[in-house]
Amino acid sequence: MQELESDCIFGNMKITIAGIGPGGPEDITPAAISAMSEADAVVGYKYYFQFIAPYVRKGAMCVDTGMKRERERAAEALRLASEGHRVCVISSGDAGIYGMAPLMFEMARKRDISTADLHIEVVPGVSSFQKAAALLGAPCGHDLCLVSLSDLMTPWEVIERRIRAAVEGDFVTAIYNPRSMGRWWQLHRLCELFLAGRAATTPVGWVRQAGRPDQSVCLTTLADFDPDEVDMFTVVLIGNSQSYIADGRFITPRGYFRESTSPEGMGVGREIMTESFATIVRELASTSADNNTKADMESGRRWALLHAIHTTADFDMERLLWTSPGAVKTLHELCTSGRVRTIITDVTMAAAGIRRGALQRLGIKVKCYLHDERVAEMAATHNITRTQAGIRLAVSEHPDALYVFGNAPTALIELCTLIRCGEVCPAGVVAAPVGFVHVKESKHMLRALAGGNSTRDPIPCLIVEGRKGGSNLAATLTNAILTFNDAAATGPGRDL
């Protein structure tokens, strides 16, 4: 190809840049066909000429180049236009999306070619992400963004910052140039970033060679997506927090049909709670470097943390919530298997917050001894608080219950003392007493006991450390235990 001389005169010349769609003849627009058929010089990547052969005028020059020769193509188009040729530059998909259109404008500007001398017209085309979306269902029903993983002209640091923004903004995201022979790890990193801020069940669809004879379409989830299955001819689409899969189709709601129920039939209350959890997940992703490890998910700590933040709107819970290894999962199994039949609370407010639907579903009873007529007499006789007396009485009748504390540190201290003396071995403890006197100490005592010893097995514990706590926190952590089987799908609000 001959370089364009700086003193070339264009006069009133025109270059048309046509997007030819992803590859199939049904996706080439009439405007693009017209632009190609009227040109006496067509410039493009040589691979694309097989798709446009029927539309190129007989006798027209076809100037084709290999990959990564975009600048040479642009220069050749300008040279041909300066010689008086009617030039059409072709670009796959839409020429303005990772295509030739921006480069043509930049090249003309760099060479000080004015619009009076050269008119550049852009003919839009069907972009690859649009074709892929149509094949998958309706994944682009709400706000979306496009991200290219090619770092040939964009530093990876910039690309990763944009990925993080897409996750935080809850955008449906289309991924261009996801993988090549020499660029394979970037898609794995993108998946890590999305899993830190989206549910594992988020739909992921990918389409290879969209609109071409060897087209392949796959629909999966973020957890099951294998980056090694795609290549440079693939477009990947990742849903937002509202996207779902139904009847083998990837759908993202338009967003303003709020009065309807989800495809799972959840009510408005649960739908709001699901949206709240999605917000928490996004905000956690922007503030925590490692909040979504596999161990954290499987043990249930993250599920409990989402409940704690949802109840308090306090992201400090990420630092304050401590769980013994596998506590949520272990306690859930004990509750669902029938080995935990009773939950003991220190105060009635904590009992009131535990979901009745979950208790009925699992056949579990909640009992608070605070107003038992025997408690007042015991408290007076032994000069202890009523909550302490209530725990002593509870231990005598339900030694293997799940104990939940949302108010009284003295009651938690009483239980710890009885555990250490070997008088009781509870199924587990949820500890969220609140206040200023003996609160921290009571929690330190429980944590010291949680690991077990030579005569006693470890005790599954959830502890809100420091002064913070409350009956609402104790109840919501208990609800997290009872609904842990919904954690993998981040589907909160069962039994509301």
201-231 residue pLDDT tens: 999 999 999 988 899 999 999 999 999 999 9
Of all residues in the chain, the percent with pLDDT exceeding 90 is 76
Token match 């594992």: residue? 200
Q: What is the pLDDT of residue 488?
A: 76
List the structure tokens of 289: 């470097």
Q: Which residues of 426-445 are buried (b: 16+ CB within 10 A; e: fewer)?
A: bbbbbbbbbbeeebeebbeb
CATH topology of domain 288-486: Rossmann fold (3.40.50)
Q: Is 143 a residue whose pLDDT tops 90?
A: yes
pLDDT for residue 3:
47
Q: Are the C-beta atoms of 463 and 441 separated by less than 8 Å? A: no
- In whole angstroms, what is the distance from residue 88 CA to residue 15 CA? 6
Weakest-pLDDT range from 100-114, 230-244, 282-296: 282-296
Per-residue CA distances from 374 to 141, 319, 410, 426 (Å): 62, 39, 18, 22
Please, which residues have CB within 8 angstroms of residue 300's CB and are 6 or more apart in sequence? 323, 326, 327, 328, 329, 332, 480, 481, 484, 487
Whether the model pTM is above 0.75: no
- The fold of 129-251 is 3.30.950
- Round the average pLDDT of the chain to a whole number and report it: 89
Which stretches within 97-155 are classed as H helix? 100-110, 128-136
Mean pLDDT of 144-168: 94
Domain ranges of the chain: 13-126, 129-251, 288-486
What CATH code is assigned to 13-126? 3.40.1010.10
Residue 66: pLDDT band with limits 50, 70, 90? confident
Q: Tens digits of per-residue pLDDT, 104-128? A: 999 999 998 887 789 999 999 999 9
Mean pLDDT of 329-358: 95
pLDDT (tens digit per residue) in 420-453: 999 999 999 999 999 999 999 999 999 999 987 7
Give me the pLDDT at residue 10, please. 56
Same fold, 13-126 and 288-486: no
409-420 helix and 386-397 helix, angle to the nearest 10 degrees: 40
pLDDT at residue 257 in the model: 46
Categorize the per-residue pLDDT at 7 as very low, low, confident or very high, splitting at 50, 70 and 90: very low
Q: In what order do the strands lie in the sheet with 244-246?
A: 137-138, 249-251, 244-246
**Which residue did the predictor score with more confidence, 269 or 310?**
310
Of residues 9 and 181, more confidence is placed in 181
Active-site residues: which are they? 310
